[in-house]
């Protein structure tokens, strides 16, 4: 057993190192493609860090409070995954919570929360602090399943890394951290076959901040909801996975349409579900616990405006409220603070929507079969599904083998339309992009949807 | 003891008959003024009855389920008043609930719920039923305080009467039953002085019904919320107590305005607060308890769209879901049922708004002091406040003495503008109406705001 | 309307006076039989009143706090019947609760709670108090079913009466108030036929008080539990309905026995069940809400020692903690206060056991049939069951017709054994007593079990 | 940053390897000293594994259900540390829980739960299972603080190891797994100075099993309670850390004593506290969710008998109930199942008490200073506290420097009494043992309390 253990461990380490290396390498690459988008604010009592696994992709977001916060929770979803929520539901007005950790990876993402907790302990011990026990609240979204091939989920180390990288006053918006592979709004588009998923847009993590007198209020949210994001004019904000130019309807139209087609709806099975919105409301205003709890309830309820429907059986919605317990502000009553936070929550939901990468343009003129021939071959995704590329009569086609997902139906052949150097658009409802990857002139793999949600496959034939 | 019992019973019956007669008499009178407005539907397993005390006014609404229902509750408000909510929070899939009772009267309105329960017991005993214990759920709104002079609240007998009057398939909309003196939306208009209350509109009780295949879904709501009622276009639906022609803003404008004036907000004191929305969702579809509970949570959250803000510290919001547990409908999944019910809840909130009585028109031409002199005198409201009417120089004025309320500031003198026979409009922001009441040519009292929310005073001088 | 109102009021008053008179009269009668038993203590901020319906019997106990208390609740039972428990579960540190009302009558006993609330309102209005809304918590026990014939349950008026009779510093112990017809411990004796119920002893309401420094702690409990009362030596304290001399086993013996005969156990049907323990913990020490809630949980859990089993599916256990919020006592930490209260709770459970009336002794010598003939006839209980008494061969027998209950099997004939003037002992496991009632020499009825739990029947033939 | 990261990682790995090696080495050693003690039973649907860090010591216990279980939770303690408890509080009757993980390490022990979850995922992926998401419930006890010097807590890897080692039908009793360094009953002995802690006995993890017809019921518990363990005769079972021969009082005596000395009690600070009892009830009987939840409440309440006091503010008590949902057993009603489980819980609490190692006997005759001189020196514990040993006039003394704990007061000098080869008994209330450790004739360190709770120190001078 020792032998095995050692070799298992070695293997594990190699995997970890590779992942780490890959992450660092790819992060670098990635940042060249999509301009970073941050909310900046002035709330230095809170440090925020993210960490991501490019293979996945998936990620985690750590909110670290060096001085501790008093916390409360409101759990409204049908399938919550949490760490320590009951401890902050008892009414203590004590600042024993040191971090809130949101992650992808469904229930496995909770490892990031415990990982961050242990990293805080390590830091405290290294600083000679006597009381090293760190209180951490955790929440997760389901970013696995049919939206990606890889089964990588945030782990202990990713949570620790996000903690170590945390800095004050800055929050990365969009497809970052726990929102790395979030999506929203499938409720209205559900149906058989991959084409239905074309209208399932990516979302991410959003934030908003406001100061009223001495009171600071920040709201952070990771939107992976069954419902769709709605703006203050009642308009659905995004309704296609890749195309931002698609005109989206009013939510009232979507609702009317759905009411007429309810027999085509999603069956639920036990356990964690595909959807969740995670929210954190932070203030520095002193509040009695009962009002911290009320704040959670009022804000969470208000989010039924920005995400419709909200708090369904399919969602695992969790909202935490925390206060650094610093300033008295008799001018801002608790329900008014909650009123402001409710509007911030709407803002945060809206800016959780990531900037989409520029779409490649279709190239005019046909290509010669000969030129296309170099792409022909079989490409394998993580988990074993594969795409067989053929070149024939000046056209490139792709045939998918493997489990159906949001990109491909099983054993369906897709036409690939040229769209710039090495890039092709898949002829389907979603118009996903394929880019062939070359090393020293050789096609060694292909990337599905280059950009934040890229998925790599290796050429195996 | 038997002797006594008989005389007690006789007495009780006399009381009941008197009340019945009075209520019928007054209802009759009332119905001449405001046309009755009902939602009709097909759901005979539920009987609905209302009863009202004109002196108040206040009322109660009983939903009676002769065969029993399985129930769940979602309590989101900061100050709920309830009967038996914990018994339906444990997860039993048993149909031991026989009625849901909503009432005005703040915590005292719970007497109507226990009164209805005892009336069900009496009925069962009279029918020789062995198991006479009736399970009743109760909820209340706060319709007292500064909106009325009388301190009458629904009691045991009013609940019993509403139960005895219950009929299937019909629900009275607007200012009826528990919604008899409901109001909504003061959050945005709060301020010092009665004029601020001009924008505080009446609401009432609403309902909506839909059948999908064999599944029937009905939603009933009594809206007495701090927040304001918003329609599906984001428009505030009513924003003046008496005038329906006032153009109401978009809710986004109201919110923006409020965000700029938060220092003028409502202080809360302990105990029941001035606001609450009570909701009942009824279906005949079989649902496991967990889904009945989820239904409550999803629908309640969705109501944050129709009432903004919702579930505040000031609201005592309670929502019950019940099923008659009759039909299987695999085509309608629980979360879709909740989606439909959420839209019905919005409809119900919207149609809770009562039809306002026609406004009297200002009469052209001045009146002679002599003619006005007959109105001069002092008029006392229930509770002891009074209005001193003076006629001088062809003008009638009213000076109020007593506790400030939504109609009158203390010791302020109001000009009364003639508006038809014996009627005058109070010159103030709210433009309330005064009608002098004559008996045999003598002015014996005056009625503030003739119509559903009329308040009578007696001439004492 | 005024006219009517007066006559209604007059009628109401007459009803009230009649009831008062009757109650006083009967109480007087009763007190001659069983010496009153009170716990006296020094806690004048709380007034305690009871009221009972002799026909039943059943009753209610009101704890009134003129200055208001902060409250919390712990609901552990499977079938709780409550008023307003959710309002004190939110965490408010505000003294908006004015009374706690415990009653018999199953869910119908909640009428006593709303009745007491309305009586407080009346009192406040009569004193010219502006804020008349009274916050009342309610709980009930199931004292109907097979233990009595009458279906009388505490109502609005009984609650009002108990409130009006409330006095400080004195609590009636045993079969009084809400504990008027409580019983406990049937779990170990359940089986087919009335004889099994012989071991089902009466219980009642108990109390204990202790002062530690400036801190006063009182615990009150109404024990109607499925489990049996156990003392600090592990001994079952009472195990027969009528006989106190029966030697009761150690609880460990009972448990061992039960473990061997579990197939003979009680089936539960939906709704309120036959058992419940209601408890109120009162202190004057200032406690944060979280500690008031912890106090509820620690004390309620501790009661699993005094009542075994406790908090079963069949019990509707509710415990409220309240503080008058008067004294700071840093020397008595919250968990130590809870420790003391837990011991008081045990004391209160123990002294809830009522003193049993003296058993009549069997009379030596046989009676002549002729002498017995005057008793022969049919006697009807409330609800229509009857006992046919026959005299034959110097022996009196009774044949029961009606629904089986804890006294009689259906259509079973019992031998009656003479035991003093007009009294007989029923020859059965329970040895209940029958006393024939005479008026002017005529036998006009009979009383089953003269004493606190007497049940009267009328001679109909 | 990369550079640092790598070196940190390397360091971490070295630590991990060292720990792993140490663990394996010491586990081997340990098993020679204390005979293993197991409960064996027949319930193969559940696999149980433990893993421990000897440096600590601390550990974790994994209950793994390959086919999944339906679960419910009852949280009664004042400071619970949990993973996923809310997900099983919603009422789902679905078997999405795959493991329950109990750990030492306070909140940091939750890492073992997420570690086990990830190990289940790894296993599933390696078996080609499509649905790899594992549902894991977690709970922790506080086994750090003043009872040990090391700050090692269970981590991700320890949870994974316990999962990988899990086997059916066998549970290690006593100071094993999560119960590795549990203690119980300090409530009655709290006071200033280490001597008070002499009466604070070790506890551990216990278990009991029973089959009734086709129904299997197992209860497992880790007892680290503030309250003391009481047997069915009301006797405190253990009341000294090292000595089993001390005659323990009746609990009633302890309670009486404590009631007289409450001013000497424990102050609580925020966050996780020093006490907790974790319990798991497992059955194979099909139960509706509501009854699974009732089972949790009834059993948890019943444990107030075995541990007194229970569920205090200082305890973080959590109880989970799970069913493999396999057999119908209409003969065993849910409340009877709960009754049996309650007795099993008591049994489990009782057998959580570990066998104490044999006490060394005092050696007659004095030793020469010369012989003792080899022990003189300074010995350092993990964390930096130290013991300075001096030999003088044939006597050995030890002077402690460092933070006060349950073994040593700060800067107090203890006489060491010879007790066999290289062993000495510390002259104090607790009579802890010191054994000097030799390598090749050299004293290289000393071990405090050889046996399951041994603590090693290195000679530094």
Q: B446-458: per-residue pLDDT in tens?
A: 999 999 999 999 9
d(CA B398, CA A28): 78
Is residue D88 within 8 angstroms of chain A, CB to CB? no
Asked if D333 is an interface residue toward chain C (Cβ–Cβ < 8 A), one would say yes
Contacts of D299 in chain C (CB under 8 A): none
Which of D78, D107, D403 lies at the smallest CB-CB distance from A90?
Answer: D78
Q: Assign residue C451 a region (left: φ > 0; alpha: ψ between -120 and 50; beta: otherwise).
A: left
Give C267's pLDDT tier (boundaries 50, 70, 90).
low
User: Cα–Cα distance between A444 and A379 in angstroms, integer?
Assistant: 9
Across the range A113-124, mean pLDDT stands at: 98
CA distance linking residue B104 with residue B392, whole number of Å: 41
pLDDT tens-digit series, residues B136-192: 999 999 999 999 999 999 999 999 999 999 999 999 999 999 999 999 999 998 877
In D38-112, beta strands by DSSP E = 38-40, 47-53, 58-75, 82-83, 97-103
Helix (H, G, I), strand (E, B) or coil at D245: coil
Check residue D363 and report its DSSP letter. Answer: P
User: In this predicted structure, what is the pLDDT of residue B20?
Assistant: 42
With CB atoms and an 8 Å threshold, state whether A108 touches D121.
Answer: yes
Residues of chain C contacting D294 with CB distance shorter than 8 Å = 78, 312-313
Query: Which residue's entry shows tokens 């008998």?
Result: D305
Token pair, residue A344, equals 């911030």
pLDDT confidence of residue D144: 93
Interface check for C94 against chain A (CB to CB < 8 A): the answer is: no
CB contact A150 to D (< 8 Å) = no
Give the residue among A427, A423, A443, A425 at the shortest CA–CA distance from A435.
A423
- pLDDT-derived band at B264 (thresholds 50, 70, 90) equals low
| pLDDT value of position C5 | 40
Question: In the predicted model, what is the mean pLDDT of chain C?
Answer: 90
- The mean predicted confidence, pLDDT, of chain D is 90
Among A336, A338, A344, the residue to mutate for chain B (most B Cβ within 10 A): A336
Give D94→chain B minimum CA distance, Å.
Answer: 11
Give the number of other Cβ atoms within 10 Å of residue B281's Cβ: 29
Residues of chain B contacting D293 with CB distance shorter than 8 Å? 90-91
- Residue B267: its pLDDT value, please? 67
* Mean pLDDT of the region B70-96: 94
Chain B positions in Cβ-Cβ contact with residue D288 (cut-off 8 Å): 91, 93
Decide if pLDDT at D29 tops 50. Answer: no
Report, as an integer, the average pLDDT of B272-276. 78
Q: Residue A190: pLDDT band by 50, 70, 90 thresholds?
A: confident
The string of pLDDT tens digits covering residues B314-327 is 999 999 999 999 99
Provide the chain C residues 18-57 that lie in CB contact (below 8 A) with chain B. Answer: 18-19, 22, 54-55
Q: Is the peptide bond before C397 cis (omega within 30 degrees of 0)?
A: no
Share of residues in chain B with pLDDT > 70 (%): 90
Chain C, nearest residue to D311 by Cα: C298
Give me the percent of chain A exceeding a pLDDT of 90: 79
Express each pLDDT in D105-157 by its tens digit.
Answer: 999 999 999 999 999 999 999 999 888 999 999 999 999 999 999 999 999 99
Q: Which helix (H) or strand (E) holds D118?
A: helix D110-126
Domains annotated for chain C, with CATH where assigned, are 34-350 (3.60.70.12), 369-459 (2.40.128.50)
Note whether A64 and A49 are within 8 A (CB).
yes
With 0-12 CB in 10 A as exposed, 13-18 as middle and 19+ as buried, what is C356? buried
Identify the band that residue C31 occupies on the pLDDT scale cut at 50, 70 and 90: very low
Which pair of tokens denotes residue D82?
A: 């949990």
B residues 361-380 lying closer than 8 A (beta carbon) to C: none
Mutate to test the interface with A, among B312, B329, B331, B342 (most CBs of A within 10 A): B312
Supply the mean pLDDT for chain B.
Answer: 90
The crossing angle, in degrees rounded to 10, of helices D156-164 and A110-126 is 130
Q: How far apart are CA A207 and CA A227, in angstroms?
A: 19
Q: Which of D255, D242, D151 is nearest to D449 (CA)?
A: D242
Mean pLDDT over C248-270 rounds to 81
Residue A138: what pLDDT? 98
Residue C3, classified by CB atoms within 10 Å of its CB into exposed (0-12), middle (13-18) or buried (19+), is exposed
pLDDT in tens, B187-221: 998 877 888 899 999 999 999 999 999 999 999 99
Q: How many Cβ pairs closer than 8 A exist between chain B and D?
A: 24
- In eight-state DSSP terms, residue A193 is S
- How high does pLDDT run on average in chain A? 90
- Asked whether the predicted pLDDT for residue A135 surpasses 90, the reply is yes
Name the residue facing D255 among C226, C311, C343 (closest C-beta).
C343
Give the pLDDT score at D359: 85
Chain A contact for C93 (CB, 8 A cutoff):
yes
Tell if the CB–CB gap between C81 and B87 is shorter than 8 Å.
yes
Element (H, E) at A18: helix A2-33
pLDDT greater than 80 at residue B84: yes
Contact residues on chain A for D106, CB-CB shorter than 8 A: 133
pLDDT, tens only, A21-58:
444 433 433 333 456 799 999 999 999 999 999 999 99
pLDDT value of position A358: 86
Phi and psi at B241, nearest 5°, equal -65, -40
Check residue C10 and give its pLDDT: 46
Which residue in C4, C81, C108 is closest to B118 by CB distance?
Answer: C108
Asked if D342 and D281 count as a contact pair (C-beta separation under 8 A), the reply is no
D52-87 in b/e form (b: 16+ CB < 10 A) is bbbbbbbbbbbbbbeebbbbbbbbbbbbbbbbbbbb
CA distance to A293, C323, C324, per residue, from C93 (Å): 14, 10, 11
DSSP for D249-277, please give it: PBHHHHHHHHHT-TTS-----SSS-SBEE
More confident call, A167 vs C27: A167
Distance from CA of B305 to the nearest CA of C (A): 24
- Residues C365 and C372: their CA atoms lie apart, in Å, by 13
H or E element at residue C28: helix C2-33
Q: What is the pLDDT of residues D347-366, one digit of tens each?
A: 999 999 999 988 889 987 67
pTM for the full model? 0.92
Report the range of poorest mean pLDDT among B258-272, C388-402, D236-250: B258-272
Cite the DSSP H helix spans in B127-229.
156-164
Residue C17 banded pLDDT, cuts 50, 70, 90: very low
**A267/A265 Cα distance (integer angstroms):** 7
Question: Binning pLDDT at 50, 70 and 90, where does residue A359 land?
Answer: confident
pLDDT exceeds 80 at position B17: no
The pLDDT, as a whole number, for residue A291 is 96
pLDDT for residue A280: 98
Span D239-254, average pLDDT: 91
Whether D262 and C297 lie within 8 Å, measured CB to CB: no
Alpha-carbon distance values, A427 to A183, A395, A430, B416 (Å): 22, 12, 8, 75
Coil, helix or strand for D396? strand
Those of residues 272-331 in B touching chain D at CB distance below 8 A are 288-290, 293-294
The pLDDT value recorded for residue C102 is: 98
Instruction: Give the pLDDT band of residue D368 (cuts 50, 70, 90).
Output: confident
Q: What is the pLDDT of residue C77?
A: 83
pLDDT of residue D264: 63
**Tens digits of per-residue pLDDT, D405-461?**
999 999 999 999 999 889 999 999 999 999 999 999 899 999 999 999 999 999 998
Q: What chain A residue is nearest to C94 in terms of C-alpha separation?
A: A290
Tell me if D102 sits within 8 A of D61, measured CB to CB.
Answer: yes
- Contact between B76 and A262 using a beta-carbon 8 Å cutoff: no
Whether the per-residue pLDDT at A93 is higher than 80: the answer is: yes
Q: Is D312 assigned a catalytic role?
A: no
């Amino acid at each position: 057993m020792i032998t095995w253990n050692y070799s298992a461990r070695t293997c594990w380490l190699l995997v970890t190192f590779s992942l780490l290396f890959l992450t660092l390498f790819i992060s670098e690459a990635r940042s060249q493609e999509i301009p970073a988008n941050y909310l900046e604010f002035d709330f230095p009592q809170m440090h925020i860090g993210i960490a991501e696994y490019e293979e996945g992709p998936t990620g985690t977001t750590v909110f670290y409070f060096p001085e501790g916060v008093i916390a409360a929770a409101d759990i409204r979803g049908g399938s919550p995954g949490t760490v320590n929520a009951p401890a902050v539901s008892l009414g203590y007005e004590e600042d024993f919570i040191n971090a809130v950790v949101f992650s992808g990876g469904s229930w496995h993402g909770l490892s990031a929360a415990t990982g961050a907790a242990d990293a805080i302990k390590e830091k405290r011990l290294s600083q000679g602090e006597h009381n090293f026990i760190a209180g951490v609240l955790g929440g997760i979204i389901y970013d696995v399943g049919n939206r990606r091939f890889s089964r990588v989920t945030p782990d202990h180390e990713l949570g620790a890394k996000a903690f170590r990288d945390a800095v004050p006053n800055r929050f990365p918006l969009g497809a970052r951290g726990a929102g790395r592979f979030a999506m929203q709004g499938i409720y209205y588009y559900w149906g058989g076959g991959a084409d239905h998923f074309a209208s399932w847009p990516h979302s991410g993590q959003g934030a908003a901040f406001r100061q009223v007198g001495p009171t600071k209020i920040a709201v952070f949210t990771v939107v992976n909801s069954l419902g769709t994001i709605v703006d203050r004019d009642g308009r659905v904000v995004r309704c296609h996975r890749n195309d931002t130019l698609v005109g989206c309807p009013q939510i009232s139209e979507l609702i009317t349409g759905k009411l007429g087609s309810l027999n085509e709806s999603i069956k639920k099975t036990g356990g964690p579900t595909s959807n969740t919105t995670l929210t954190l409301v932070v203030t520095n205003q002193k509040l009695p616990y009962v009002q911290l709890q009320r704040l959670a309830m009022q804000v969470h309820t208000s989010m039924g405006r920005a995400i419709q429907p909200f708090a369904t059986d399919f969602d695992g919605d969790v909202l935490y409220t925390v206060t650094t317990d610093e300033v008295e502000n008799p001018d801002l009553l608790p329900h008014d603070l909650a009123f402001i936070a409710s509007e911030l929550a709407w803002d945060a939901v809206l800016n959780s929507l990531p900037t989409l990468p520029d779409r490649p343009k279709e190239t005019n003129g046909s290509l010669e079969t000969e030129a296309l021939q170099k792409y022909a071959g079989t490409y394998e995704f993580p988990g074993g599904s594969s795409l067989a590329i053929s070149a024939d009569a000046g056209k490139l086609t792709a045939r998918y083998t493997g489990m159906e997902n949001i990109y491909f139906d099983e054993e369906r052949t897709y036409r690939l339309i040229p769209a710039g150097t090495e890039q092709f658009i898949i002829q389907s409802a979603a118009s996903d992009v394929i880019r062939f990857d070359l090393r020293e002139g050789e096609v060694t793999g292909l990337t599905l949807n280059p950009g934040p949600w890229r998925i790599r496959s290796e050429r195996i034939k």
